[in-house]
Amino acid sequence: MNYFKQDLASLHADLVAKKLSAKELTQATFDNIKATDPKIDAFLALNEDAALDQAAKVDAAGIKEDQPLAGIPVAIKDNIVTKDLTTTAASKILTNFNPIYDATVTTKLADAQMITVGKTNMDEFAMGGSTETSAFKQTKNAWDQTKVPGGSSGGSAAAVASGQIVAALGTDTGGSIRQPAAFNGVVGMKPTYGRVSRWGLIAFGSSLDQIGPLTRGVKDNATILSTIAGHDEHDLTSSTQAVPDFAKDLNDATSVKGLRIGLPKEFLADGVDEDVKNAILAAADTYRKLGATVDEVSLPHNKYGVAAYYIIASSEASSNLQRFDGIRYGYRAQDVKNLEDVYVKSRSEGFGDEVKRRIMLGTFSLSAGFYDAYFLKAAKVRTVIINDFKAVLKDHDFIMGPVAPTPAFDLGAEIKDPITMYMNDILTIPVNLAGLPGLSLPAGFSNNLPVGMQLIGRPFDESTLYKAGYAFEQSTDFHLQVPTLGGQN
Amino acid sequence: MANRINRDQVQHVAGLAKLEFTDAQLDAFTPQLDDIIGLFETLSEVDTDGVEATSNVSDQLNVMREDVADNWGQSQALLKNAPDAARGFIKVPAIIDESEDN
């Protein structure tokens, strides 16, 4: 299967016309993954027998025109629970954990008759920006196997970029969909907080986490988001707002005409790579040519986002990760004297260093005597950051800027230096703090590595981001360039 | 090192978090955490007088539902993931320290 020459619509057309069966497509996907994964290590687990059975059932029932996703393979990030399919969140503490239920998003994909082919690698519990904190393997960038794939959804991004799969789900707490999408030259959407149910997502920062799609094109991304979005009685933060058919109106490259776009000066400040800056300035010109206006705007408190985020996300994580105690599931330490020992030794042996660092930072920020100075202060700065966005989005339809200050960096280059790693998230984190939708899409290259652009919208206005992303995609050819991994192209 | 957090405090926080560290780990973690807390302290530059804290950004408030009991019927399936189980229960070590005299 050559996913570089196919999208959801063309696969669907072939399936309906019986040029291809779901089983053939699924088998070809596994063959492709097995041929290319030794190079990029995107997958933690494959679901081969169950997926081929399911594909055969879809074939037997017949694929109709009103089932646009039926029989099409999809990959799922490993912090989203999948019934009877090992789910580890890339942590030793969940080795061999087999969920007894499906996340709402995987149920919705199954209802649309998509075929789950496997679970993708990630930073442990989604804590990291390079997929290097995984307890199990090191995923490589699809464009250059000496570079990181980004993170934490590095496996999903590399799988889509390398042509292993047409679509994957990721999760984004501080940039974990958008940054790996940018590093691998694919499209990633972090939806508005509440747009997609978090039921079955292994919680990291509950007020920040969202699930979203990674795909090669904007339209495919929109199709998947419409499928997984919507209110869910199991997640009381999921919104009751109606879910549009996001892909329906994506056929007009001139739809940005008359839109007002804000380009924050802080997004092009010192520390942002020259090639990245130039790609964004060129993208601004593209939008001007399409009839939009691009104004310089300001998000004056953007630089405080990283500090506020690492207090808030770590505090929420320290609470959420209390459940991993060696009692009910997952890793339990041997050679223990009493129950307290089970807790302390299971956690100390089961969690990796980055997860421990976050738990420590969170526990510290919430502890007696420090709560006001750290957690409460961060929660107030969060309000200030939200107000910055509100002021700009009052008279701008969306905000544009880079996703990350640099293209993908070398494997091993930053993992020993937490603060450098944390600062990579400076352009994505504020969007999570404010709960806004953020779309990452290919916007250029720097030394043969992809450069991503980020579009940030008003709450629940993913539609405008998809329209603007589609218009940009139709006006450029960055999304048509593919890595040469495996020589498939 | 600015000493925003020292080794004893790191050990205290580890206790609260049910984690334990070797001496070598404490040597590595203490300055790292100190640096990161230094980053946190840059927030003091932001004037937040009279600003309300934001704890969540959901548009759903006070979602209510009937309190209806629901039997998943999956207690046996749940036990499959338990590290140790017997007769329908999860087994854990003795709560009382076996090394204590009593």
Q: Do B33 and A207 touch (CB under 8 A)?
A: no
Do residue B51 and residue A325 have CB atoms under 8 angstroms apart?
Answer: no
Q: Which residue from A301, A265, A290 is spatially nearest to A280, judged by alpha carbons?
A: A265
State the pLDDT confidence band at A54, using cuts at 50, 70 and 90: very high
Side chain identity at residue A255, one-letter code: S
Q: Is the pLDDT of residue A324 over 90?
A: yes
Rounded to 5 degrees, what angle do the CA atoms A157, A312, A454 make?
A: 35
Closest Cα in chain A, distance from residue B2 (Å): 16
Catalytic residue among A130, A152, A255, A440: A152
CA distances from A35 to A1, A30, A166, A485 (A): 12, 9, 16, 10
- What pLDDT sits at residue B62? 81
pLDDT category of residue B3 using cuts at 50, 70 and 90: confident
In this prediction, residue B60 carries a pLDDT of: 83
In angstroms, rounded to a whole number, what is the distance separating the alpha carbons of residues A332 and A311? Answer: 29
Question: pLDDT-based confidence at A390, cuts 50/70/90?
Answer: very high
What pLDDT is recorded for position A50? Answer: 98
Taking contacts as CB-CB distances below 8 angstroms, the residues of chain B near A329 are 81-83
pLDDT value of residue A270: 81
Region A194-205 average pLDDT: 98
Do A377 and B96 make contact, defined as CB atoms within 8 angstroms?
Answer: no
**Alpha carbons A50 and A85: distance in angstroms, whole number:** 9
Q: Taking the complete model, does pTM exceed 0.95, yes or no? A: yes
Count Cβ atoms below 10 Å from residue B33 Cβ, excluding itself.
Answer: 20
Provide the number of CB pairs (under 8 Å) joining chain A to chain B. Answer: 175
What's the mean pLDDT in A401-408?
A: 97
- Average the pLDDT over A143-149 and give the result: 97
pLDDT band at A107 (very low <50, low <70, confident <90, very high): very high
Here the tokens at position A232 are 């869910």
CATH class, domain A3-260+437-487, is alpha beta
Is residue B102 scored above 60 in pLDDT? Answer: no
> Over the stretch B68-84, which tens digit does the pLDDT of each residue have?
888 777 888 889 999 99
| Residues in chain A within 8 Å Cβ distance of B49 | none
State mean pLDDT over A393-408.
98
Q: Which residues of A touch B18 (CB under 8 A)?
A: 322, 325, 343-344, 347
- Taking only the tens place, the pLDDT of each residue in A409-463 is 999 998 888 988 999 999 999 999 999 999 999 999 999 999 999 999 999 999 9
Across the interface, of B20, B78, B93, the residue whose CB is closest to A339 is: B93
In the predicted model, what is the mean pLDDT of chain A?
96
pLDDT digits (tens, 9 = 90+) for A114-136: 999 999 999 999 999 999 999 99
Q: Which pLDDT score, from 0 to 100, does residue A488 have?
A: 45
Describe chain B by its helix, strand, coil percentages, rounded to 5: 35, 5, 60
With contacts defined as CB-CB under 8 Å, which chain A residues touch B39? 306-307, 310, 419, 422
Confidence of residue B93 (pLDDT cuts 50, 70, 90): confident
Q: What distance in Å separates the CA atoms of residue A237 and residue A406, rounded to the nearest whole number?
A: 34
pLDDT at B1 over 50: no
- What is the pLDDT, as a whole number, of residue B99? 58
Please give the pLDDT value at position B97. 64
Is A367 assigned a catalytic role? no
Q: Which of A248-252, A348-352, B49-53 has the lowest mean pLDDT?
A: A248-252
Residue A193 neighbours by CB under 8 Å, 6+ apart: A207, A208, A210, A237, A432, A435, A436, A459, B57, B58
Contact A339 B77 (CB under 8 A): no
Say whether pLDDT at A60 is over 70. yes
Q: Is A216 left (phi over 0), alpha (psi -120 to 50) or beta?
A: alpha
Question: Quick check: A253 pLDDT over 80?
Answer: no
Of residues A467, A358, A386, the one with CA closest to residue A193: A386
Question: Looking at the complex, does the CB of residue B58 fall below 8 Å from at least one CB of chain A?
Answer: yes
| Cβ <8 Å between A337 and B60 | no
Q: Is A77 a catalytic residue?
A: yes
A363-387 mean pLDDT? 97
Which of A296-310, A475-489, B58-72 is predicted with the least confidence, judged by mean pLDDT? A475-489
Mean pLDDT of A7-14: 98
A152 among known catalytic residues? yes
Q: Does B40 touch chain A (CB under 8 A)?
A: yes
Residue A483: pLDDT above 60? Answer: yes
CB within 8 Å: A357 and B45: no
CB A178 within 8 A of CB A436: no
Contacts of A358 in chain B (CB under 8 A): none
Q: What is the pLDDT of residue B72?
A: 75
Tell me what pLDDT residue B2 has: 54
Q: Closest Cα of chain B to A289: distance in Å?
A: 35
Query: In chain A, what residues touch B85 (CB-CB under 8 Å)?
Result: none
Amino acid at A77: K
Using a pLDDT cut of 70, give the percent of chain A over it: 99
